[in-house]
Amino acid sequence: MYIAQAFKGDNVSWKFWITTLVCGGIFIINFISYLLTSPEDMEAAYEMLKSIPKILGLILNLIPFVVLLIFLIVFVVFMHKRSFLSLTTSRSKIDFKRILFSFLLISVLTIGGFVYSYYSTPGEVVWNFEPGKFTVLVIVSLILFPFQIGFEEYFFRGYLMQQIGVAVKNKWFPLIFTSVLFGVAHSANPEVAEMGYITMVFYIGTGLLLGIMTLMDEGLELALGFHLGNNLLAALLVTSEWSALQTDAMFKYVNEQATDAMVNEMLASVAISYPIIIIILAFTYKWKNWGDKLFGKVVMPVEQVTENGIGK
What is the distance between the alpha carbons of residues 85 and 3, in angstroms, rounded to a whole number? 13
Q: What's the domain range around 115? A: 3-300
At 1-28, the pLDDT tens digits run: 899 999 999 999 999 999 999 999 888 8
**Cβ–Cβ under 8 Å, residues 140 and 55:** yes
At 191-241, the pLDDT tens digits run: 777 777 788 899 999 999 999 999 999 999 999 999 999 999 999 999 887
**Tally of domains within the chain:** 1
Is residue 217 in a domain?
Answer: yes
pLDDT of residue 308: 57
**Cβ–Cβ under 8 Å, residues 234 and 245:** yes
Is residue 53 in a domain?
Answer: yes
- One DSSP character per residue, 95-126 reads -HHHHHHHHHHHHHHHHHHHHHHHHHSTTSEE
pLDDT of residue 311: 36
Is residue 70 in a domain?
Answer: yes
The four Cα atoms 288, 289, 291, 295 give a dihedral, to 10 degrees, of -100
Is residue 309 in a domain?
Answer: no
Is residue 305 in a domain?
Answer: no
pLDDT of residue 307: 58
At 157-191, the pLDDT tens digits run: 999 999 999 999 999 999 999 999 999 998 877 77
Q: Do strands 238-239 and 125-127 pair parallel, antiparallel, or not at all (unpaired)? A: unpaired
Res 304 pLDDT > 70 = no
What is the distance between the alpha carbons of residues 32 and 306, in angstroms, rounded to a whole number? 44
User: DSSP secondary-structure letter at 94?
Assistant: -
**Cβ–Cβ under 8 Å, residues 75 and 18:** yes
